[in-house]
Structure 1
Amino acid sequence: MISPVSATYIYPVSAPPVKNGVLTFDEQGTITGVFTAEEARERQLKNIRHYEGLLAPGFVNTHCHLELSHLKDQIPQHTGLPEFVQSVIKLRNFNAQEREEAMAKADAAMYASGIVAVGDISNQPVTKPIKQHSKLYYHTFLEIMGFRPEQAEAIMERVKQLKDEFGSLPISIVPHAPYSVSSELFKVLAEYAAETGGPISIHNQETKEENDFFERKEGGFLDLFEFLGQDIDFYQPSGKTSLQTYLPLLPPELKTLLVHNTYTSAADATFAASVHPNLYWGLCPKANLYIENRLPDVDMMRRAGLRITIGTDSLASNNSLDLLSELNVLQQHFNVPTEDLLKWATFNGAEFLGITQQFGSFEPGKRPGLNLLGFKEQDGKVILGNELQRLL
């Protein structure tokens, strides 16, 4: 049997923090109880291991690109998204062994940094061997893209065949981004997703250029299409933001993650709530600073009551796949309580991926992972440090 553990604070996430609380486990590491110090004394619990720090469930990284791990330190910072996308395309042809080694290293690093589950973006099946043997739970989001309306059906059939190559691994076909998916392809995908189920993920308003493209057919995405050799003379801007243009095309009954939201306004958030009741909003702050040198309006998102999750994006746009460092950035720039940050990094992500039966909170019957975090108390508030030890 695993000995009970205690810490200065336990954050069950599904309940308020417990000072000097105690967690008990069975032989397999499944939680059997979450107790206050007084309840632990009443039960005469023995051999309790006490830690100085904060105990939290394992983290859920809702947005990662494992297949881009070989691009670490390859792309300059602050290029803006259109130029960043061009750089990724130019650097695609890496040695296969280098790419596999980089993915394996990234997978191991995520485990060591306290991550238990990952929503991973894929464009090809190269990550399959890693995912089959990983200690992490992966849900693959297989991206579909194509801006030529007449190609929508053919593109969908091609990606469905690619999906089959992942075998029995959890997987969804999802739109890459508003600027890379035609309205016709959105409709074809929506029909398929409504039949097969979600969750769905999409890059949303990561750059000002995205809204410029939809509102006025201006900005850096015109250069990107020229770089790709694509004629988009047929395209007519909607006169609305990207979110207000594409979101009504997605099935409202399916859990859907909007990732980045760097240029999402309060009006966009209000509109989104009116057309889609199952939205989650993914934040990847370090990647936003890396590419656009800007952060989303997190204060607005909190006021709007949005369900927020945390991601790392890829090593092409980040120096690590470490969720705690993402929380540290948010804590430095916004006045977000630690209790909220931990919920975003655990339960909300697990809820989006549909895995709360095991992950996301300390509750009897779950095996959510166990992270010991450093912290300090300042003006009566718990402030996260940058130290983490994975205990389970």
Structure 2
Amino acid sequence: MSFLKFQTDTIFTGTEALSSNHVLITDTNGKIVDIVDEQSAGEDIQQFKGIVSPGFINCHCHLELSHLKNKIPEHTGMVDFILNVLQKRTAPEEEIQQAIQDAEAEMITNGIVAVGDICNTTDTLAQKHKNNLYYHNFIEVSGFVPSKAKERFDEGMKVFESFNQIFPNQTSLVPHAPYSVSENLFNLIQNKSSNQILSIHNQESEAENELFLTKSGDFLRLYKELGIDLSHFVPTQKSSLSSCITYLSKAAKTILAHDVFTSKTDLELIKTYSLKSKTQFYLCLCVLANRYISDSYPDQFIFQNNLDNIVIGTDSLASNHSLNILSEIKNINQKYPQASEFELLQCATYNGAVALNIEHQFGSFTKGKQPGVIWIEDFKTCNKPKKLV
């Protein structure tokens, strides 16, 4: 059997940083054979400056929106961003498919090996069938009018079945967001998705909390624009997360995407529900998308005692200039210097793999895994990792 041997300034295993006197050994397909000291590694060692890491896990993406790259202005705020997506997402099938193909190729070039992908349509199914990347498909359902819940659920189930036939262990039916899913629809989704992995957009704007606290804020304008009757809605006088967390508590794992306006009280609630319901919650940061949409960032305290439960996503090319986890990591590191580069690499590798239930193959340099091997020449100046195997 032929082996590949890699020696760098730092081998990041997914959970720890090893010094330069270690050598990573894989077979030619990238399966991890061992990590040994350099005296035991023998000959033909490839030597690099910088960091070698497992491939990245992109825990929140919208591949089907890739054709909207550069079509939506920056800093519009959440409501106008949503309205722009709804107005502009229709496009010729050929354009949509080419954009999906190009976006996937970009992720591969940027060292991404697995993706948690939000799906409202079957547009990405043909590309995913090529198995270039691992995908967990989150089939997203929305509908804030209670009387329409069954209709919206049935529409989502049609998309779910299309994916589930091909990816039976990689498909979940999930709610879009607290502000777009009625209690009736939450109940239907919860009954279908018990013990599955869920993903939900969480507290991406201040207006989301305002809606649930006092039935005020910019989301009222969204519903008016969309012709949605809000007469049924009674504010809970709690945050949006507090208002919906019970509907997430039957899941095995729940990925909360964005978390820009998540409070310390919300974080304590998450911990309480994790213990009470056995659901594992993950905070998925998509900082470049939030900068694009509203120039907003999560508060500093989100990193306090939460690093093991933080994962990283790119969101979509409708809300980001690239699908590049390394760029996300570097931006987080600049904004929150208390989170070290290696802690953030763990968020983007091992944590992400655990969140998507794929730690048996991805996320770390454990013997027998095939997690991808990427090289970051210089953390401060390198914008793209290089795939080694």
TM-score category, normalised to shorter length:
over 0.9
Deviations 1:2-51 (A, max 9, x none): 3211111100023343334211112432111012xxx331x252111111
Are 1:101 and 2:98 counterparts? yes
**In structure 1, distance between residues paired with 2:388 and 2:340:** 24
Opposite residue 224 of structure 2, the aligned amino acid is E
Q: After superposition, give the CA deviation of every residue in 1:300-321 in whole Å (9 maximum; x if it has no partner).
A: 1221425000000000000000
Return the match for 2:371 from 353, 361, 368: 368
- How far the C-alpha of 1:252 sits from its partner, in A, is 4.2
Residue 341 of structure 1 pairs with residue 334 of structure 2? no
Relative to structure 1, is the Cα distance of residues 285 and 146 closer, same or farther in structure 2, using a 3 angstrom cutoff? same
Q: Is the 8 A contact 2:311 2:351 kept in 1?
A: yes
Name the CA distance, whole Å, in 1 between partners of 2:41 and 2:7: 14
Are the equivalent residues in 2 in contact too, given 1:119–1:138 (CA < 8 A)?
A: yes
Asked if the contact 2:69–2:320 (Cα under 8 Å) also holds between the matched residues in 1, the reply is: yes
Structure-2 change in CA distance of 1:108 and 1:284 (3 Å): same
2:193 maps to which residue? 193
Residue identity opposite 2:284 in structure 1: G
Counterpart CA distance in 1 for 2:29 and 2:17 is 26
* Aligned-pair CA distance for 1:331: 1.1
On the 8 A contact 2:23/2:41 being kept in 1, the answer is no
The structure-2 alpha-carbon separation of the partners of 1:319 and 1:262, relative to structure 1 and needing over 3 Å to count, comes to: same
**Matches of 1:88 and 1:387, distance apart in 2:** 28
Percentage identity across paired residues of the two chains: 38
Aligned partner of 1:31 in structure 2 is 32
Look up the equivalent residue of 1:204 and give its one-letter code.
N
- TM-score under structure 1 length normalisation: 0.94
Over residues 89-145 of structure 1, what are the superposed CA-to-partner deviations in whole Å (9 max), with x where a residue is unaligned?
000221111111111000000001000000000101010011011411011101011
Q: Quick check: 1:271 aligned with 2:257?
A: no
- Residues 173-196 of structure 1, C-alpha deviations (whole Å, 9 max, x = no match): 0000000001111111111111xx
CA distance in 1, matches of 2:253, 2:305: 18
Give the Cα separation in 2 of the matches to 1:84 and 1:200: 24
Is the Cα–Cα contact under 8 Å of residues 203 and 261 in structure 2 kept in the other structure?
yes
Q: Contact between 1:103 and 1:127, CA under 8 Å: does it hold in 2? A: yes
CA distance in 2, matches of 1:228, 1:369: 44
Shift of 1:230: 1.0
Q: Which residue does the alignment assign to 2:20?
A: 19
Give the counterpart letter for 1:318 in structure 2: N
Q: In the alignment, is the contact (CA less than 8 A) between 1:269 and 1:304 conserved in 2?
A: no
CA distance, structure 1, for counterparts of residue 312 and residue 333 of structure 2: 13
C-alpha separation in 2, matches of 1:250 and 1:44: 48
**Residue of structure 2 in register with 1:380 after alignment:** none
Q: Helix, strand or coil: the match of 1:312? A: coil
Tell me, in whole angstroms, the C-alpha distance in 2 between the residues paired with 1:210 and 1:44: 55
Q: Write the letter of the residue equivalent to 2:49.
A: E
Runs of 4+ aligned residues of structure 1 deviating over 4 Å after TM superposition are none
Render the CA deviation track for 1:272-322: whole Å, top value 9, x for unaligned.
Answer: 21123410000000001000101112x312214250000000000000001
1:260 aligns with 2:258: yes
Q: Is structure 2 residue 300 aligned with structure 1 residue 303?
A: no
Separation in structure 1 between the aligned mates of residue 323 and residue 148 of structure 2, nearest angstrom: 35
Query: What does the per-residue CA deviation read over 1:195-218, in whole Å, with 9 as the maximum and x for residues that have no partner?
Result: xx3110000000000000110111
Give aligned pairs, total.
379
Tell me whether 1:157 sits opposite 2:160 in the alignment.
Answer: no
The answer on whether the counterparts of 1:60 and 1:118 sit within 8 Å (CA) in structure 2 is: yes
1:286-297 correspondence to structure 2 within 5 Å: 286-297=288-299
Aligned equivalents of 1:133, 1:181: Cα separation in 2:
33
Q: 1:252, 1:278 within 8 Å by CA — same for their partners in 2?
A: no
**CA–CA separation in structure 1 for the residues paired with 2:81 and 2:61:** 16
Name stretches of at least 5 consecutive residues in structure 2 with no aligned partner: none
Q: Report the counterpart of residue 60 of structure 1 in structure 2.
A: 57
Q: Secondary structure of the equivalent of 1:168?
A: coil
Q: Which residue of 2 aligns with 1:122?
A: 119
Partner of 1:379: none
- Distance in structure 2 (CA, Å) of the matches to 1:137 and 1:122: 15
Task: Compute the displacement of 1:155 (Å).
Answer: 2.2
Partners of 2:123 and 2:250 lie apart in 1 by 31
Please state if 1:218 is matched with 2:245. Answer: no
Q: 1:89 to 1:8 in 2, by over 3 A?
A: same
Once residues 318 and 382 of structure 2 are traced to their aligned partners in structure 1, the CA distance between those partners, rounded to angstroms, is: 25
- In the alignment, is the contact (CA less than 8 A) between 2:113 and 2:134 conserved in 1? yes
Q: Which moved more, 1:255-264 or 1:127-136?
A: 127-136
Q: For residues 351-380 of structure 1, what are the alpha-carbon distances to aligned partners after superposition, in whole Å with 9 as ceiling and x for unaligned?
A: 01100111001111011001100226xxxx
Instruction: Find 1:351's aligned residue among 354, 368, 380.
Output: 354
Counterpart Cα distance in 2 of 1:116 and 1:71 = 23
SS of the residue aligned with 2:129?
helix
SS state of the match for residue 3, structure 2? coil
Report the equivalent of 1:312.
314
